A and B are shown apart, each in its own frame.
Chain A
Amino acid sequence: MKENPKPVARLVVENGCGFNFALNCRHCTDAKCVKSCITGAMYRDPETGYIVNNPEKCIGCWTCVLACPFGAIMRDTSDKKVVAKCDLCAEVGTPACVANCPNRALIMVEEDDEQ
């Protein structure tokens, strides 16, 4: 399954400082990106609880980029300028990064609400 244009990575791999780690959206309880979104494109899916972006409404103002304390929101400037972020591949099931990580360094864990 190849997409054209090539989709923007929805996670950041940080390296330097002698270690590497992959960073994706934290799907925060207190989601600053949702609160700061000027169009209402960024929202919490009431069913999954994941933070998702509606590309039809997104205007690419990058206020969420300004607000996200993790720097986990990417800019997709390939076509219409919209936000690209991890949606945990909710429509597919297993996140693509987890399915394809050759070293099995990425795993998907669901935490209980109480934790």
Chain B
Amino acid sequence: MKIVIIGNSAAAIGCIEGIRSHDLVTEITVITDEKYMAYSRPLISYYLWGKAEKKNMFYREDDFYEKANVKLITGQKVISIDTAKMQVTTEGNFIEKYDKLLIATGASPFVPPVEGLEGKDNIFTFLKWDDAEALKEIVGPEKHAVVVGAGLIGIKVAEGLLPHCKSVTIVELADRVLPMVLDDAASKIVAKIVENKGISLELGNSAVKIEGNKSVEGVVLKDGKYLICDILVMAVGVRPNTQLAKDAGIEVNRGILVDDFCKTNVANIYAAGDVTESFDSVAGDKKIMALWPNAYVQGETAGLDMTTDKLEKPILFPMNSVTIFGYPIITAGIQPDEKCTVLEKEDESGLARLVFKANKLVGMMLLGKVDRAGIYTSMISDGTLIEKPESLLEEGFGLNWFSKEIRKEKMK
């Protein structure tokens, strides 16, 4: 059997490791349009910042592909999938046949139309290693940087730019930072940290016009304010790279639609990672969960399903951990709606918000103090019945919360 993987990030590595956990013979070929071995995409902001060295960017050891007996083809973009002939073709007219195929093409930055944006240099997006390299080239102590978007990518790129630039301003349409993952109170905490470090925030505002001739020189905001700008980073959001799948007749909504085992509607074709729309076990609906750990698990699931008969379906739901200037933020599960009960605890160590529905923990948001968060994650994942929600926020909460039998079972 021969397996071809398009893409070379978390989902691809998960797929390889899933297969190789029990199968050393199946042929595996990875085709990527990037020139690197798999690297940690979330590290690009640390690389820009100067906190991650080049040698530590790689997700696996140098000899990973060799040891796993994987053929790695870099710098080749797959342009078509022929589902009848079961082969993929690259831009360089290189053809690779497959018995099973994994599409792990990820996502690309979405750049909204803004007057004056077209045709200027000094405009960047921030998703790939090369994006960080390009920014490293242009930063300087006299440069003014403007970042459009205060989501995770926007905040992280601003953090990375700050020590290298004269000023960094984030412009965000919503009235708060990290609007997709945090509520008002939590956003305020993060906004304060970001501002104290020296980043300016323009919330509830947007870039309406980009000024300059060949290069960006300034940004006009909706409220009329003018920002001097030498470096413009567009970090509004990302869109799944679905075109390749669409052209091959694979079912696509916003992302490639996959089942619990990462199968698409076309036989022998799987998809995993940021390109997919998959089932959120907690919310009970399909959505894009473009997060690193989920991508790995999806890739692994696909790899195991390709090569084994029996496989338990993985439980996936959005979960994320990030630090902003060292301040830890963890979120998982769903945002509260009217059917939920919310418990909050705020003190000098931080903010904890737990969301309950029908006697189960379904969501959490922890700021500042995140220790032992994984116990909550496991409760969300297992659907643990909780009679006294407030007991979860008591001092000293831990595995001692569980009955002796369950604790013993867990610790086996």
Which residues of A approach B to under 8 Å, CB–CB? 12, 14-17, 19, 21, 23, 26, 32, 35-36, 38-40, 56-57, 59-71, 73-75, 77, 81
Chain A residue with the shortest CB-CB distance to B329: A62
Closest-CB distance, A15 to chain B (whole angstroms): 7
For B320, list chain A residues within 8 Å (CB): 63, 66
A66 in contact with B411 (CB, 8 Å): no
Q: 12 A–B contact pairs at CB < 8 A?
A: A14-B399, A23-B399, A38-B293, A39-B42, A56-B56, A60-B326, A62-B330, A65-B330, A66-B373, A67-B293, A67-B374, A75-B371
Closest-CB distance, A54 to chain B (whole angstroms): 9
In the complex, which of the residues A57, A66, A75 contacts B374, with contact meaning CB atoms closer than 8 Å?
A: A66
Q: Is B59 an interface residue (CB 8 A)?
A: yes
Chain A residue with the shortest CB-CB distance to B394: A16
B323 in contact with A69 (CB, 8 Å): no
Which residues of B approach A to under 8 Å, CB–CB? 14, 40, 42-43, 46, 51-52, 56, 58-60, 292-293, 296-297, 300, 319-323, 326, 328, 330, 332, 370-375, 377-378, 381, 396, 398-401, 410-411
A65 in contact with B370 (CB, 8 Å): yes
For A68, list chain B residues within 8 Å (CB): 374
Q: How far is the CA of A33 from the CA of B52 in the complex (A)?
A: 20
B330 in contact with A59 (CB, 8 Å): no
Q: How far is the CA of A77 from the CA of B327 in the complex (A)?
A: 11
For B381, list chain A residues within 8 Å (CB): 69
Closest-CB distance, A59 to chain B (whole angstroms): 6
Q: A14-B396, A15-B396 are in contact. Are A66 and B292 (CB under 8 A)?
A: no
A40 in contact with B14 (CB, 8 Å): no
For B293, list chain A residues within 8 Å (CB): 35-36, 38, 63, 67
A65 in contact with B398 (CB, 8 Å): no
For B56, list chain A residues within 8 Å (CB): 39, 56-57
Q: A14-B399, A35-B300, A69-B410 are in contact. Are A62 and B377 (CB under 8 A)?
A: no
Q: How far is the CA of A66 from the CA of B374 in the complex (A)?
A: 4
For B322, list chain A residues within 8 Å (CB): 61
B377 in contact with A70 (CB, 8 Å): no
Q: How far is the CA of A62 from the CA of B322 in the complex (A)?
A: 7
Q: How far is the CA of A40 from the CA of B372 in the complex (A)?
A: 21
Q: How far is the CA of A63 from the CA of B58 in the complex (A)?
A: 17
Q: How far is the CA of A9 from the CA of B268 in the complex (A)?
A: 48
A66 in contact with B370 (CB, 8 Å): yes
Chain B residue with the shortest CB-CB distance to A73: B374
Q: How far is the CA of A71 from the CA of B401 in the complex (A)?
A: 12
Q: How far is the CA of A3 from the CA of B46 in the complex (A)?
A: 28
Q: How far is the CA of A59 from the CA of B57 in the complex (A)?
A: 11
A62 in contact with B370 (CB, 8 Å): yes
Q: How far is the CA of A75 from the CA of B332 in the complex (A)?
A: 19
Chain A residue with the shortest CB-CB distance to B331: A66
A70 in contact with B410 (CB, 8 Å): yes
B371 in contact with A74 (CB, 8 Å): yes
Closest-CB distance, B300 to chain A (whole angstroms): 7
B42 in contact with A38 (CB, 8 Å): yes
For B323, list chain A residues within 8 Å (CB): 60-62, 81
Q: How far is the CA of A17 from the CA of B322 in the complex (A)?
A: 32
Closest-CB distance, B311 to chain A (whole angstroms): 13
In the complex, which of the residues A26, A56, A60, A71 contacts B398, with contact meaning CB atoms closer than 8 Å?
A: A71
Closest-CB distance, B370 to chain A (whole angstroms): 6
Closest-CB distance, B142 to chain A (whole angstroms): 29
Q: How far is the CA of A53 from the CA of B250 in the complex (A)?
A: 40
Beyond the given A14-B398, A71-B399, could you list 13 further A-B residue pairs with CB under 8 A, ordered by the A residue number?
A12-B398, A14-B396, A38-B42, A39-B40, A59-B43, A62-B370, A63-B293, A65-B371, A66-B320, A66-B370, A74-B371, A75-B328, A81-B323
